[in-house]
Amino acid sequence: MIRAGKLSQRITIEQVGEARDAIGGVGETWSTFATVWAEFVSQTGREFFAAKQINNALDCIIRIRYLPGITAKMRVRMGSRILNIVAPPIDVNEAHEEIKLMCEELRG
């Protein structure tokens, strides 16, 4: 079980949807799925090459209380930072008490 004192970051989990514009085109839009308290468990920085450009990626694990419905197609917003969820959420010990989210933040 997660101790409340460790959940010190307020995050918003967002889900993607579609929105039509004025001329009938379809675009991607993000809406709030849930706003919860979270803990960053670990972070590692690394550089990699993509499209002939060096990008920095920040890999981290975010722990939250159990919340059903989260998928790897969602993302996490923490202030102005956006982190992509890169793997299916992990229900720790399948106890429905804690979820770990594997996330990656791209920085240009």
Distance separating alpha carbons of residues 79 and 21, to the nearest angstrom: 27
Tally of domains in the chain: 1
- DSSP structure class, residue 92: G
Q: Which two tokens stand for residue 105?
A: 């933040």
Predicted pLDDT at 63: 94
Provide the 10 A C-beta neighbour count for residue 9: 16
Give the pLDDT band of residue 69 (cuts 50, 70, 90).
very high
H or E element: which one contains 23? none
CATH number, domain of 99, equals: 2.40.10.270
Q: Which tens digit of pLDDT belongs to each residue from 1-26?
A: 677 678 889 999 999 998 877 787 88
Predicted pLDDT at 53: 57
φ, ψ (nearest 5 deg) of residue 24: 90, 0
> Rounded to two decimals, what is the model's pTM?
0.80
Domain containing 84: what range?
4-107
